Amino acid sequence: MNLAEDNIISFESSGTTLDLAEIQTLIPHRYPFLFIERIENVILGESAVGIKNVSVNEWYFQGHFPDHPIMPGVLIVEALAQTAAALVMKTLTVQNGGEKPGNLVYFMSIDEAKFRRPVVPGDVLRLKVTKERSRGHIWKFKGEAWVGEHLAHDSMFTAMITQK
């Protein structure tokens, strides 16, 4: 089974694109802890694809690992969570008539996490998040991190929407 062929339709251009400025209006993360630069294919309340250009200048490569730089898996998970949080906040903003609600999205849990290949400088991460379900203030997502046609990571994770 070729995972890329099964998922390629997910990367076709559709939905809305969010640039860095809009992402920063939706979630509170800032450099050096903002791990997405753009979000494509936003289908409100359903799915989105975050983009992370992995540069050799990233701060974490100084220690992980100096002679063989690899993006830490926990930061790949964080990039997926940030993509999901922006999707949730964009959805709530549209549902709220364009006014951003006073909410934050907190990471709650991760299940079935698998790291399938290293992510290295020069890679472009495509961070696909798909809502599996939502009940009240709890949303569950399937997350996949792709480099080209290769699946680097996949997991299920849960987020909670709270008031500031």
Query: Which residues are designated catalytic?
Result: 64
Give Cα 123 distance to the centre of its chain. 15
Nearest alpha-carbon partner for 72 in 28, 113, 131: 113
Asked whether 73 and 60 are in contact (CB, 8 A), the reply is no
The pair of structure tokens assigned to 70 is 């690899």
Tell me whether residue 83 is exposed, middle or buried, using C-beta atoms within 10 angstroms of its C-beta: 0 to 12, 13 to 18, 19 or more: buried
The identity of residue 122, as a single letter, is G
The identity of residue 20, as a single letter, is L
In 100-164, which residue ranges form alpha helices assigned H by DSSP? none
With b for 16 or more beta-carbon neighbours within 10 A and e for fewer, the 10-40 pattern comes to: eeeeebeebeeeebeebbebeeeebbbeebb
